[in-house]
Amino acid sequence: MTTTLYDSSRGIVEFTYQGSGPAILLLKGGHSTRDTNLSHSSLVYEGYSLLTISRPGYDYTEVSTGRTPEDFAATIIEVLDHLQIEKTAVIAISAAGPTGVALAAEYPSRVTKLIMEAALTRPLEKEMAILGKLLFGPAEKVFWGSLKTMLKFFPDLVMKQMTAELTTEDAEEYVNRLSPNDRRFIYDMLATSQSGKGFSLDLTHETPDLSKVQVPVLGMYSQKDKTVQYTNAQLLKSNAPNCEIFEVDSDSHLIWIGKHASHVWEKRLEFLSH
């Protein structure tokens, strides 16, 4: 897929834009790179155009484009203007939650709908934030380099270690009952992950006032998500005026895999088309 570098007023932004039809803006979560595909690229085959913008500190998008969700929302509007996209639906994943909220709250005339997929509406738990700073700060290249080498030789071991932070269930049991396709999904996700300077920045983000989001919101969350706990869904529901929460029967943060992944796909399409 061809990536484009756009020189915005705040710095370089990397994006891809493909397909035709109504626009959807995809904001990926923490550690996700241009090569990380959590199944959303298939939206192109459903008749949508998909604009994927790398957030500050990820891929070639410079940190200067937005140290806060509000600042990067303004940069996103520049990209939309450049591409002559008048209105777009927004999908915000995990750590991209605050940016999705900022965009919908500050630019309601440009955002038609907001989908929050296992997305943060409050800061990460303190223990997780401390661990995040330790592993994914200055040492992130060493961490991911070692992990990807281990992944090649001991995939099950690495998947169990990493999913222990994503599920409230026993990680060994969780990995053991994965289907071959779901196992490949996690393997590919880890193999394409890199924190860059982005995740350290994510840890500083505050979510803007949810009550300012007037556009229709769909939140999809799992009760067994250890990373983005279900309290994020409850906070979204109780503050965003026009919000529906779809509780996903998923065993982890990864709501895009598992027995009920098709329900996530169907719910997303239903929300986008109405």
pLDDT, one tens digit per residue, over 161-207 is 999 999 999 999 999 999 999 999 999 999 999 999 999 999 999 99
DSSP state of 129: H
Q: Which helix (H) or strand (E) holds 177?
A: none
Q: Determine the Cα–Cα distance for residues 124 and 200; give it in Å rounded to an integer.
A: 12
Give the sheet arrangement for strand 111-117, strand by strand: 4-8, 11-19, 49-53, 23-27, 88-93, 111-117, 217-222, 243-248
Whether residue 222 is predicted with pLDDT greater than 80 in this model: the reply is yes
Using CA atoms, how far apart are residues 249 and 222, in angstroms rounded to an integer?
Answer: 6
Question: CA torsion angle for 252, 254, 259, 264 (degrees, to 10)?
Answer: 120
Let me know: does 91 contact 26? Beta carbons within 8 Å: yes
Q: 243: which 2 tokens?
A: 């919000």
Model pLDDT for residues 7-61, shown as the tens digit of each residue: 999 999 999 999 999 999 999 999 999 999 999 999 999 999 999 999 999 999 9
- List, in sequence order, every residue forming a beta bridge with 245; answer none if it has no partner: 219
Residue 267 three-state SS? helix
Distances (CA, A) of 125 to 26, 122, 130, 143, 265: 25, 9, 9, 21, 28
Q: For residue 87, what pLDDT is reported?
A: 98
Closest CA to 222 of 260, 193, 184: 260
* Nearest C-alpha neighbor of 262 from the set 24, 115, 42, 60: 42
Contact present, 224 and 169 (Cβ < 8 Å): yes
pLDDT > 90 fraction of the chain, expressed in percent and rounded: 93
pLDDT above 90 for 125: no
Q: Please report how the helices 180-191 and 140-153 are oriented relative to each other, as an axis angle in degrees rounded to 10.
A: 150
What domains, with CATH codes, occur in the chain?
A: 4-125+197-273 (3.40.50.1820)
82-117 pLDDT, tens digit per residue, is 999 999 999 999 999 999 999 999 999 999 999 999
d(CA 160, CA 170): 9
Tokens read off for 41: 């690229």
Residue 100's Cα: distance from chain center in Å? 10
152 pLDDT band (50/70/90 cuts)? very high
DSSP secondary structure string, 69-99? HHHHHHHHHHHHHHTT---EEEEEEGGGHHH
